[in-house]
Amino acid sequence: MRKDGTFIAVEVDDSIASDPAVAARLAEVCPVDIFAVADDAGVEIVEKNLDECVLCRLCLDAVNSDPTHPVHVLKLYEDGAEL
C-alpha cells in the first residue's frame, strides 16, 4: 500500500498492512497522525496528514527491525529518496 502527498510518500508492505498490532504501533508512535487503525483493524495511511511528516523516523524504528523493512518514507522533493 502506498499513499503520496505533495512532498512525502509512505509505503507499507502488504505483508504487514493487515496486522492489527502493527497498525496500533504505527498509530501510537507517529506524532502527526499519518497512521491510523483502519475499520478492518489494519494499517490506514491518512493521506491528508502525509505532508505533516517531520522525518522523525519513529515509524521506521517501530517496525523496521524486520530485515525486509516493511515501511518506507520517501521524500518526493528529492526524487523519491528514502528516509
Q: Contact, 69 vs 59, CB < 8 A?
A: no
Residues in the chain, overall count: 83
For residue 3, which amino acid is it?
A: K
3-state per-residue secondary structure call for 18-72 = CCHHHHHHHHHHCCCCCEEECCCCCEEECHHHHHHCCCCCHHHHHHCCCCCCCEE
Domains, the chain? 2-82 (3.30.70.20)
Query: One digit per residue, pLDDT tens: the chain, 83 residues?
Result: 999 999 999 999 998 899 999 999 999 999 999 999 999 999 999 999 999 999 999 999 998 776 677 899 999 999 999 98
